[in-house]
Structure 1
Amino acid sequence: MFTAPDPNQNHLLAALLDAEFDRLAPHLELIPMRLGDLLYDSGGKLQYVYFPTTSIVSLLYVLENGGSSEIAGVGNEGILGISLFMGGNTTPSRAVVQTGGFGYRLKSHILMEEFNRAGPVMRLLLRYTQALLTQMSQTAVCNRHHTLDQQLCRWLLLTLDRLPTNELTMTQELIAGMLGVRREGVTEAAGKLQNLGFIRYRRGHITVLDRAGLTDNVCECYGVVKKEFARLLSDVHQRQGTPPPAR
């Protein structure tokens, strides 16, 4: 069933008290976020911040030789552009849409006006930033110490947490770019998960058949990230009377 776009589909926007939301709402611009869209590039000035609703965006670090690796993903739980309110107008990462959908963008100066009130919005954004930094650090640990099979399970589960479906539109080339590995490695890892009956892979499409199986085979990193987001942001849905999404 089609659900009409609504800013409250983003958990941070849904957490705002009425007065705060009413100040920002007239400035929120609904935009399509298409697979592969570049929202901002390394070193570029942040003109907007973005609140994904039905899309997922990857934060990528791109090396001089063209290689890249995902350092974090942002979906309906978060915001893109934390560098703005952390003291800088640029970021070393690149933001690319990983899963197409919709989101809202807000001019940077509007957000900063609200942030500089030093009230609930500032505290909410700083808590989210702490959770995002946990995801970034855990991704670095995972990529260094855990098998590609475990990394793929982690990536799939974190992606599913942000979607209302078990269907992912994603090629193995794109997954390889996210994980910073060769495509052949992703092919082998995906093949193992498919043979175990956890997923079904068809060209450009992944269907998760057994989420419990992925959870049983994922490394500890998924649980660490999930627990930290829950610890820091567990109350954000209740503030407007919206229950947390089922997991």
Structure 2
Amino acid sequence: MADILLFFATPSRVISLLLFLGLFLWPLKYRRRTARLLLAAAFALFLLAGSGILGGLVLARLERDPALPAPPAPPAAAVVLLGVSGGPARADDARLGILAAVEAIRRHPGLRSVYLVPADGPASPERDLELEAAAGLLRRLLAGEAVDIHLLPGCSGPVEGFRRLAPILDHTSFLLVAAAYRMPRALLAARDLGGHPVPAPSGRLSGGASRGLRSLWPTPEGLLCSDLACRELCRYEAARLRRLARALWHRLRPPG
């Protein structure tokens, strides 16, 4: 639990957010050049704190923590893909996760099973349909590969999914594919239920500047993210940063 709180409430993230909000809400007529520089520095620190770098450091700490069982070395026997039915708000995460799972299977020919686990939320027929759609896309991308795709219909999230998979993946090494911001909690849940996950973050499009780039995640397998996913991530983040810079410039530019 302490590591989870550390991931979501790092001091630099909280301080930079408070500093950025305080300076941003400061009345414009009282702003001077020094205040604008401080605002720009706070904004840069906020982007850095939310970019996934600190999350990668926390994940590395989780892997070195002697209180947690160390994951066995690859090769893994299966792929567990989390968060493929999170609704429209998580569609980008689901697409990147599917691409990462395809890349993992192509890099490791011994992987013959893929288990699709939905994101947190109440079980519903709509979520089951999203699971089936994700499985169909995965089958099309893996055409010609001898891979079994297993669904967990009626599942309310990763915790229940790991409980269902515990008899199958007990004492088994498997690749855990999930969005970067979900990875620390997913690792703890998998290890608490007796699994031996090897983390393979898939990146995230829905928040955090440059989150999910290869250099930000020092994991045993590296970031199993295809070139297509990396290009999509870079295009999205570049457009997002341009919008943020334009809004900040309109806010800070001198009147007249």
TM range (shorter): under 0.3
Determine which structure has more spread, i.e. the larger CA radius of gyration: 2
TM-score, normalised on structure 2? 0.27
**Going by fraction, where is strand more abundant, 1 or 2?**
1
**Going by fraction, where is helix more abundant, 1 or 2?**
2
